Amino acid sequence: MSAETVVSFKDVDVVFKEKKKEAVHAVDHVSLDVQRGDIYGIVGYSGAGKSTLVRIINLLQRPTSGSVTVLGDDMASLSAGQLRDKRRKIGMIFQHFNLMGSRTIADNIGFPLRGIKSKAEIKAKVDELLDLVGLSDRADAYPAELSGGQKQRVGIARALASDPELLISDEATSALDPKTTASILNLLKELNEKLGLTIVLITHQMEAVKQICSRVAVMDGGAVIERGSLLDIFAHPQQQLTKDFIDTTMQLDATLDTIAKQPAVQHLSDTERLIRLTYLGDTTDQPIIATLLREYHVVANILFADIQSLQDTPFGNLIIIVTGDSDNIDAALKYLSDSGVNVQPVTIPGGAK
Ligand SMILES: Nc1ncnc2c1ncn2[C@@H]1O[C@H](COP(=O)(O)OP(=O)(O)OP(=O)(O)O)[C@@H](O)[C@H]1O
Ligand SMILES: [Mg+2]
């Protein structure tokens, strides 16, 4: 049985056309499905069209063409009243929190329920939400008295006030330091697991995607240029942009700079090659380095090694110099490929091959 589709974009296009200005193709023929329970990461640089795309979900942005279906309904077909009800099923959190400074934390969180629920019901819900985000003792504080991380917790609680089935997070951690970012991401993951909340997470930080997303789409120039499960995308990225985003999660640029300065790398001989290996999962347990030597008489010198965890699956990155007879190296690299290891030659700018 297929999972339930929460959001479905069908060939969605958004073109902004202002007088005397060139038209901007902000969203370029995007078709994309988000299933219940997904934490779907949408990653891309500034201007890629991420915010415009997700604003289409609740019809804050109308598509120029194409359609979006949310929880079974084509959004364009809804009456004003139906649209209002549907929007309650879609929570949103933002980079700058958008809290009301003159109201207490409790009032901010309960605000979306005013006029819909009784005072007592609102109080009970707010208490529950404060507890859920770990701010029970700050109910009567004002936003200015909270840290950035705490403000975002309030933003999350407010977004959950109407029991949404979908939460859209638009750069919600971009203004936070790494440690606070991690704690907010952990909270989102917890809400996903505890409440079955489906989450669309927009970010330019692949690190955030890596931490909690189950699926990821990469956007560039309005289009989705690559998509897949988190593990697939990390194990077999196809587009250069996707590879670049993945590399940011292990500070590869800085690593290569350091490696490039090593004499061993600057003076590679004909029997040496600089290689990058990436692998996912079980491969990690295989004694590949030992096998290179035993079976292929190729010596591997490890310059850099990094193993991260992706949804509890090890994801390894190695940069090595292999030394040996050229034919043996070729055979050894083929063995690695056949074992599921990604093998790429590394070029050092200004250095040897
Ligand atoms: N209301 C608008 N009118 C005209 N152009 C717009 C409008 N909103 C967005 N754009 C343009 O559409 C493109 C996509 O913008 P969008 O805000 O969706 O990108 P983004 O990926 O969210 O970027 P960021 O990471 O900076 O938030 C940009 O070129 C932007 O200038
Ligand atoms: Mg944006």
Q: How many angstroms separate the first and last alpha carbons of the chain?
A: 51
Instruction: State which ligand 1 atom lies nearest to the alpha carbon of 45.
Output: 25
Q: Residue 2's pLDDT is what? A: 56
Q: Residue 173's pLDDT is what? A: 95
* Ligand 1 neighbourhood includes 16 CB (under 6 angstroms): yes
Q: Which domains does the chain have, with CATH numbers?
A: 5-238 (3.40.50.300), 252-345 (3.30.70.260)
Ligand nearest to the CA of 62: 1
- For ligand 1, atom 6, the nearest C-alpha belongs to 16
* Ligand 1 neighbourhood includes 55 CB (under 6 angstroms): no
Q: What residues in the chain have per-residue pLDDT under 70?
A: 1-2, 282-286, 349-353
Instruction: State which ligand 1 atom lies nearest to the alpha carbon of 49.
Output: 18
Q: How far apart are CA 195 and CA 172, in angstroms?
A: 19
- Compute, in degrees rounded to 10, the torsion defined by CA atoms 185, 186, 191, 194: 160
The 3-state secondary structure of 262-314, one letter per residue? CHHHHCCCCCEEEEEEEEEHHHHHCCHHHHHHHHHCCEEEEEEEEEEEECCEE
Ligand nearest to the CA of 45: 1
- For ligand 1, atom 7, the nearest C-alpha belongs to 16
Q: Residue 63's pLDDT is what? A: 97
Q: For residue 218, what are the contacts with CB-CB under 8 A and spacing of at least 6? A: 43, 44, 224, 225, 226, 227, 233, 239, 241, 242, 245
| Backbone φ and ψ of 185, nearest 5° | -65, -40
Cα of 204 from ligand 2 centre, angstroms: 9
Q: Residue 350's pLDDT is what? A: 57
Identity of the amino acid at 117:
K
Q: How far apart are CA 213 and CA 38, in angstroms?
A: 8
Choose one of 51, 54, 171, 219 to mutate for the ligand 1 pocket test, by most ligand atoms within 8 angstroms of C-beta. 51
Instruction: State which ligand 1 atom lies nearest to the alpha carbon of 61.
Output: 1
Q: Residue 158's pLDDT is what? A: 97
- For ligand 1, atom 4, the nearest C-alpha belongs to 16
Instruction: State which ligand 1 atom lies nearest to the alpha carbon of 219.
Output: 21
- Provide, for the chain, the percentages of residues in helix, strand and coil under a 3-state DSSP scheme, each rounded to the nearest 5: 40, 30, 30
Q: Residue 353's pLDDT is what? A: 43
Q: Residue 284's pLDDT is what? A: 52
